[in-house]
Amino acid sequence: MSAIGSIDSLRCFLAAARALNFRQAARTVALTPTAFGQRIKQLEEQLGCPLFVRTTRSVSLTEAGFALVPAAERCMDAVHECERVGGAKEHPPLELTLGTRQELGMSWILPERRALVRARPWLHLHLYFGAGSDLLLRVRTLEIDCAITSTRFSDPKLDSIRLHREDYVFVASPRLLARTPLHRSEDAARHTLLDAAPDMPLFRYWRDAPGGGDRLQFAGATWLGSIAAIRHQVLEGAGVAVLPEYLVRRDLAAKRLRRLFPKVVPVHDYFRLVFRANDPRRPLLESIGAHFAGVPLR
């Protein structure tokens, strides 16, 4: 087996050792399950011993497999360092799935996809749209490779790179406010709060801010699941909501929306590129994060 073939086989071995699931591991290195299994078999034949015990229900490492893991990790670290220093001219084709929420994907990520791939012609970038908790779960279970989200997490299996600060504003349409003013806390009893879910993940940015708190008691609340749907309904005058500032910047400038309680500055958050902490493609993911960190939100 050639040196390059051995490196690719070691990359497959580490993916399988981390996932203990050949189908999921094959997806992380952009191979079909059949091709992935052949790489593992070739490595076992080269070393002269089995590395995995496979049954219909589980995959586990043999003693030889456990012993190989640290050596394989050191080898791949050396390969990554050589690529970083030498700037390898050729790169094997790679498929990567990036998850994000719908409105951010359409306004910011999709327009940048072409530039991102143009700088990496060997990269085929897929997109997946979903809610924050769904994105984190899919990254953790290897269904997608990474995600850009502001959803917070404490999972030690996940890591992230900070990209951009995300500011929020509490808004309503002038048409709604002309009909039903919202100047004082008591006025909230005549309004409907629009948010993404029952735990009010958006309104909490206002509630947790200095001067915010629980002083606003609304007539009711409607959960719409999507930030884009909330913006649409706020513009229609269906309720009030806390929304990302970048998403409604033009609406505020055109006076299609108006800030509520402007003396209260909602708590800010950050967009992050989230990926698995043990992902062997970390250098690539860091370069993708650096690209998006250099592109203003829109």
pLDDT for 298 equals 76
Residue 23 neighbours by CB distance under 10 Å:
13
Lowest mean pLDDT among 5-9, 107-111, 280-284: 5-9
Q: For 149-177, what is the mean pLDDT? A: 93
**Alpha carbon distance 204, 242 (integer Å):** 9
Q: For 99-105, what is the mean pLDDT? A: 89
238-283 per-position pLDDT tens digit = 999 999 998 999 999 999 999 999 999 999 999 999 999 999 889 8
pLDDT for 207 equals 95
Residue 3 pLDDT more than 60? no
Beta-sheet strands, E only, within the chain: 52-54, 59-61, 94-100, 123-129, 146-149, 158-166, 168-172, 192-195, 220-223, 241-244, 258-259, 269-276
> In percent, how much of the chain has pLDDT > 70?
95
Mean pLDDT, rounded, of the chain: 89
Residue 82 pLDDT more than 80? no
Token representation of residue 282? 């970390």
Q: Which domains does the chain have, with CATH numbers?
A: 3-86 (1.10.10.10), 94-166+270-293 (3.40.190.10), 168-267 (3.40.190.10)
Q: Is the pTM of this model over 0.75?
A: no
pLDDT for 2 equals 41
H/E stretch holding 41 reads: helix 33-47
pLDDT for 1 equals 44
